[in-house]
Chains A and B, each alone.
Chain A
Amino acid sequence: MTHPHNRRRTITSLVLFGCTSLALATVTAQSGSPRSWWSPGQGTPLANLSTYDNERGQLGVLNASGQLETKGHPFFEPIGSNGRACVTCHQPADAMSLSVRSIRERWAASGGKDPLFAAVDGTNCPNLPPDDPRSHSLLLERGLIRVSLPWPPRRPDGTQIDPEFTIEVVRDPSGCNMDAVYGMTSANPSISVFRRPRPVANTKYTTHQNFGVSPFIGKNGMPAATDPLTGKPTSMNLMSDARAPTLAVQAEDAARSHLQIAGSLSAAQIARIVEFERQVYVAQVASTTAGSLVEADGPPAFGPRNLEAGDAGVLGNNTTRYVFPLGGKWAHMPHTNDEGENARGAARESIARGHDVFMFRTFWIKDSMHLNSVGLGNPTKRTCATCHGMHMTGMDTANGWMDIGTTNLPWASEVPLNPWNEAKPQMPLFRVTCKPTVKEHPFLGRVIYTQDPGRALISGQCNDVGTIVMQQFRGLSARAPYFSNGSAATLRELVDFYDRRYTIGYSEQEKQDLVNFLGAL
């Protein structure tokens, strides 16, 4: 890597997998170092295996097909009209997603001029003054990109869906949903929601054609979205609202909406983008406390090479395969006279305990649409791995949109309103009313308040309000904040959300262990 501002470092597989001490030294040396940023068109190659520092250690990015020449590559070149490339929001250092830390650093480095802050969706609404950081507050504070969706929703063939509900704007801090040009009453009625960019990596898992993929969705019996090229049903697990069934469709959608491309991507450009996305893997490779995560005899759950080798689209919520297989490692580390070695052993034991919390700690899961409604009963006494069951990623193998309360009230994070708090809500709030001709939502009733209707903005179905496709657990340490609306700033806040939502009652030790486990993925 030759770019002077890029701290990416290429190391050989031998070093990464066989030399723990060197990897540890690297982690220590790079701790707190500036973040790397991949600018559109910078033209430097993306190595076969690269590592990037983050607060919990190092992320590994694996190009399974070997070093990639990015010069002229449509994923890395600013092919749109606003100077962005795909890589703008899918940064290698951020696990092919985008961390709020990188966003803030980019704002500081560019004075807000970076194409990332393009008015179209890098502002809270395109009509706001571009140089004012307040115009970009959702991006700068929660890492959120504006997503404008037509209302009423449309099918892939462009025909309009008659939605099962009406929707009203209750709160519109961005001003975009009530705006005469961009809002619901505009010439092109649209609803603006704000969402995190998802990691474009490990895509053999996010686009698998294996267990749980069928012509009719196993959670509601509706027809699954099909690949327009093959006609085959898809897992619909790429995007938070499942609106793009394939990588190719997503690339076209993103080029049009986020890059503001003139015309459309060529077939050759789509093919190159998809080819790249099909072979890039990301996962944490080193921990600041537990050392290398990818030693030759280490747990087979960790690192991008294990992801490359793993079976895609198979259920891991069992004790024969496991979601994240530790292979019996790290549960009991030997104690020595070396304090450093013992500290590392303790950190590894914490990761192993966190795995067991994820896999075996039961709690009552209640009132979650497309979870309790799919044959498990309400409530169901299960574990994290029940829903996060796909081997190696923790996604759903089947179509994975659910309502766990991240965007629907009463569980969604809201600013406490009182005379002593100057903070104001930043997220929009919608009131959704299920029409009398359909049955009310089984857990939320006929009127639902939500910050983001999620899948319902695509399907038009009442039962989909606030449902979000769950995402993979990989590279979490590199891409805070979490949840589709960035409402959890840290992994600890993420764990606390679940603890609160499902009245789990995790002990402090369980929470710490779970955070350490998630941070190692």
Chain B
Amino acid sequence: MNAHRLSGVAALVSAGWLASGAVASIGADEPTRKNFVSCPIVRDTASVPCWLTEYEGETYFLTLQTDVSAPVTPPWLGHQVLVEGVVSSEPRICGGVVLKPVHLSVLPERDASCSTILPAEDRYNLTFEPPRPPGPSKGRLAFDNRTPAAPPPAVNELTKEFDIQYDFDRLVGFSHAGALSQILNFAREVNAREIEIVGHRGAVLLSNGRTMVEEPTIGKQRAEQVSMLLQGANLKEPSYKVRWLDEPAKATGVDDYLSRRVVVTVRR
């Protein structure tokens, strides 16, 4: 993906953004989804900062600063963020409409225009205690939903499938250590004979009707990297079947983040 991808229609189409007449359809009982790319904004508070963004004249709340245990971690200034969220009925936080659940992908290209840090204002201070203060914790992580230890394999468990999720156009990062460890531990427990890795290329239907497609070789890159990492962790005994899908997943605007994945099947 190049830096021009977000700046004009021609560039968008040529570099992977596909114009589409389809817009995420929203039925009467369907939640209101907002899928878009924008600059993140940091708003300071008397406690932890809020992460916000603006889209079509509205301010949205993305997440709070907490710690590495958070299911949604804050984006980065200096980069645009792909937001895939559902409009919540919760009260606004820091002045923003709450998107929940929300999936955030920091886009790889740098964008110096994403630089807004807003000062704290009393009217935007949090009305609740954040999961974690901005400094030292109270002796626990903010969330206890880190990747749980995999249960020991059942005696007759011959095959297990693992799903690794990715941010848009990204490879393995800080959040994948737990998932990779689960695969490694299971493969060792069952003396795995074969590991099949399938890399996928995702696509997102944005709220403006455009489809945003991951870079063409991302499925290959993901699959080969997972293979390399598992073998780099000395899991060399099993045979590896590594393949990928170059064709992007069909974007629907609903949970498209699930299409950015690698599926690892471990067989005894």
Which A residue sits closest to B176, measured CB to CB?
A: A221
Distance in angstroms between the alpha carbons of A217 and B176 in the assembled complex: 9
Stretch among B13-21, B132-140, B194-202 lining the A interface: B132-140
The residues in B between 146 and 181 inclusive whose CB is less than 8 angstroms from any CB of A are: 172-178, 180-181
Structural contact, B174 and A373, CB atoms closer than 8 A: yes
Given contacts A216-B176, A220-B172, A440-B110, contact A379 B77 (CB under 8 A): yes
Q: Mark A364-403, 1 if CB is under 8 A from B, else 0.
A: 1011000011111111111101100000000000000000
Q: Among B109, B137, B232, which residue has its beta carbon within 8 angstroms of that of A222? A: B232
Q: Is the CB of A374 within 8 A of B234?
A: no
**Taking the nearest CB of chain B, how far is it from the CB of A403, in angstroms?**
14
Whether, in the assembled complex, B108 has its beta carbon less than 8 Å from a beta carbon of chain A, the answer is yes
B74, CB-defined interface residue at 8 Å: yes
In the complex, whether A321 has a CB less than 8 A from a CB of chain B is yes
Convert A431-457 into 0s and 1s, putting 1 for each residue whose CB lies closer than 8 angstroms to a CB of B: 000000001101101000000000000
**B105 in contact (CB, < 8 A):** no
Would you give the shortest CB distance from B9 to chain A, in whole angstroms? Answer: 24
B68: nearest chain-A partner, CB-CB: A375
Query: At the interface with chain A, which of B22-30, B43-51, B87-95, B252-260?
Result: B43-51
Stretch at the interface among A12-20, A36-44, A241-249, A312-320: A312-320
Q: Which A residues are in CB contact (< 8 Å) with B174?
A: 218-221, 373-375
A490, CB-defined interface residue at 8 Å: no
> Which residues of chain B are within 8 angstroms of A362 by Cβ–Cβ distance?
134-135
> How many angstroms from the CA of A378 to the CA of B41 in the assembled complex?
10
Q: In the complex, A278 Cα to B77 Cα: how many Å?
A: 43
Q: Considering only CB atoms, which chain B residue lies closest to A383 in the complex? A: B135
B117 touches A379 (CB 8 A): yes
Query: Which DSSP category, helix, strand, loop or mixed, fits chain A's interface?
Result: loop
Q: Is the CB of A221 within 8 A of B135?
A: no
Question: Which of chain A's residues have a CB closer than 8 A to the CB of B109?
Answer: 440
Partner of B173, one of A221, A317, A318, A386: A221
8 Å CB contact of A366 from B77, B106, B184: B77
Kindly state whether residue B219 has any CB partner on chain A within 8 Å.
no
Chain A CB within 8 A of B75 CB = yes
Q: Are B177 and A216 in contact (CB under 8 A)?
A: yes
- Chain A residues with CB under 8 Å of B68's CB are 218, 374-376
Residue of B nearest to A315 (CB): B137
B13 to chain A, nearest CB (A): 22
Residue of A317, A380, A381 touching B136 (CB-CB under 8 A): A317
Q: How far is the CB of B47 from chain A (nearest CB, A)?
A: 9
**Chain B residue with minimal CB distance to A359?**
B136
Q: A218-B177, A442-B79, A442-B108 are in contact. Are A380 and B135 (CB under 8 A)?
A: no
In the assembly, what is the distance between CA of A275 and CA of B18, in Å?
A: 63
Q: Does A72 contact B (CB under 8 A)?
A: no
Interface pair A364/B172, CB less than 8 Å apart = no
Nearest residue in B to A443 (C-beta to C-beta)?
A: B78
Q: Are B229 and A223 in contact (CB under 8 A)?
A: yes
Question: Are A215 and B78 neighbours in the complex by a CB distance under 8 Å?
Answer: no
Query: Nearest Cβ in chain A — how far from B175, in angstroms?
Result: 7
B67 at the interface (CB under 8 A from A): yes
When chains A and B are docked, how far (Å) is the Cα of A220 from the Cα of B76?
Answer: 16
Find chain B residues with CB under 8 A from A220 CB. 172-174
- Total chain B interface residues with beta-carbon distance under 8 A: 42
Q: How far is the CB of B93 from chain A (nearest CB, A)?
A: 16
The CA of A222 and the CA of B226, in the complex, are separated in Å by 10
Assess whether B65 is interfacial by the CB under 8 Å rule. Answer: yes
Determine whether the beta carbon of A445 is less than 8 Å from that of B181: no
A378 near B135 (CB under 8 angstroms)?
A: no
Contacts of A231 in B (CB 8 A): 234
Interface SS of B by simple majority: loop
B70 sits at the interface (CB 8 A): yes
* A381 B65 Cβ-Cβ under 8 A: yes
Q: Are A440 and B108 in contact (CB under 8 A)?
A: yes
Judge if B205 is at the interface, Cβ distance under 8 Å.
Answer: no
CA of A322 to CA of B184 in the docked complex: distance in angstroms?
34
A316-338 contacts to B (CB < 8 Å): 317-322
Contacts of A379 in B (CB 8 A): 42, 77, 117
A411 close to chain B: CB less than 8 A: no
Tell whether A127 is near chain B: CB-to-CB under 8 Å: no
Q: Does A289 contact B (CB under 8 A)?
A: no
CA of A145 to CA of B147 in the docked complex: distance in angstroms?
Answer: 42
Q: How far is the CB of B180 from chain A (nearest CB, A)?
A: 5
CA distance A366 to B108 in the complex (A): 17
CB-defined contacts of B173 to chain A, threshold 8 Å = 220-221, 373
**Residues of B contacting A413 with CB < 8 Å?**
none
The answer to whether A214 has its CB under 8 Å from any CB of chain B is yes
Residue of B nearest to A224 (CB): B233
Which of B76, B181, B232 makes the CB contact (< 8 A) with A378? B76
Q: Is B207's CB within 8 Å of the partner chain A? A: no
Q: Chain B 227-250 against A: per-residue CB contact (8 Å), 1 yes, 0 no?
A: 001001110000000000000000
Whether A360 sits at the interface, judged by CB under 8 Å, is yes
Partner of B177, one of A221, A320, A372, A442: A221
Bound state CA distance, A220 and B109, in angstroms?
A: 18
The answer, yes or no, to whether A226 is at the interface (CB within 8 Å) is yes
B137 nearest in chain A by CB position: A318
Give the complex CA separation of A216 and B229 in angstroms: 9
Name the residue on B nearest A444 (C-beta): B110
CB-CB < 8 A to A373: which residues of B?
76, 173-174
List 14 contacting pairs A-B, 8 Å CB cutoff, sorted by A.
A214-B181, A215-B233, A216-B181, A221-B172, A221-B177, A231-B234, A318-B137, A366-B77, A375-B70, A377-B49, A378-B76, A378-B77, A383-B135, A442-B110
